[in-house]
Amino acid sequence: MAVLPIRKFPDPLLKSPTRNVLKLDDQIKRLIQAMIATMRHYPHCVGLAAPQVGSEYRIAVMDVSGHPKAEKPHGLLVLINPIVMEYGPREKVGREGCMSVPDFTGNVPRAMKLRLRAFDQTGSPQDWTLRGFEAVVAQHEIDHLDGLLFLDRVERVGSDVFRRKTYR
Ligand code: NI
């Protein structure tokens, strides 16, 4: 499976809202498989949204298994037309990076619990409750689907955005 090129800021596609998938046809299934392959290709990549690979569909893939910050992760999650049903009350600020913003990281406040609804890769509707790091990743990916980057979520660009010194 081919690894797809990653769109980088300031590519305008990253700022555009996506459109819902209406039919899980072969084109969409191939896109999902290519997104999974692309995510897996990069050892530290825990999530990828369709606009990052040049697609306008509301699809994200994520997998935080094996990440040191992950507690009880769900494994591979394919989120088609995801919507957040509920944010947990507790927020925490954490450092985020993004393959589409390779030169910077940022301190971003996120809910520590999330209930979301999406179709899975078989087209079945699912409700997931995610916690901790997995919830943070889901919020980051759903932001991509709404045309938002972590840079749009930091409280103060002057003090909450950092130039990367090392690349993992
Ligand atoms: Ni990202």
Q: Say if 64 falls within a structural domain.
A: yes
Q: Say if 5 falls within a structural domain.
A: no
Query: Considering only CA atoms, which of 16, 53, 18, 19 is closest in space to residue 33?
Result: 53
**Where does residue 81 rank: exposed (0-12), middle (13-18), buried (19+ CB within 10 A)?**
middle
Q: Say if 1 falls within a structural domain.
A: no
Residue type, 5: P
Q: Say if 18 falls within a structural domain.
A: yes
pLDDT, tens only, 29-40: 999 999 999 999
Q: Is 141 an annotated catalytic residue?
A: yes
pLDDT of residue 72: 86
pLDDT, tens only, 44-97: 899 999 999 999 999 999 999 988 888 889 999 999 999 999 999 999 999 999
- Determine which one of 91, 96, 141, 155 is catalytic: 141
Please give the distance, rounded to the nearest whole angstrom, from the Cα atom of residue 167 to the centre of ligand 1: 15
pLDDT of residue 68: 86
Q: Say if 6 falls within a structural domain.
A: no
Please give the distance, rounded to the nearest whole angstrom, from the Cα atom of residue 144 to the centre of ligand 1: 7
Domain that holds residue 87: 12-163
Please give the distance, rounded to the nearest whole angstrom, from the Cα atom of residue 120 to the centre of ligand 1: 20
Q: Are 64 and 70 in contact (CB under 8 A)?
A: yes
Mean residue pLDDT across the chain: 95
Angstrom distance (rounded) from CA 65 to CA 77: 10
For the cut 80, the answer to whether the pLDDT of residue 168 exceeds it is no
Please give the distance, rounded to the nearest whole angstrom, from the Cα atom of residue 45 to the centre of ligand 1: 9
* Helix (H) / strand (E) containing 97: none
**pTM of the entire structure?**
0.96
CATH number at 147 reads 3.90.45.10
Count of domains for the chain: 1
Q: Say if 158 falls within a structural domain.
A: yes
- Within 8 A by CB and 6+ apart from 107, the residues are 93, 94, 95, 96, 154, 155, 160, 161
Angstrom distance (rounded) from CA 161 to CA 168: 18
Q: Are 93 and 79 in contact (CB under 8 A)?
A: no
Q: List C-alpha distances in Å: 70 to 84, 105, 137.
A: 20, 19, 10
Q: Say if 4 falls within a structural domain.
A: no
Please give the distance, rounded to the nearest whole angstrom, from the Cα atom of residue 155 to the centre of ligand 1: 18
Q: Say if 21 falls within a structural domain.
A: yes
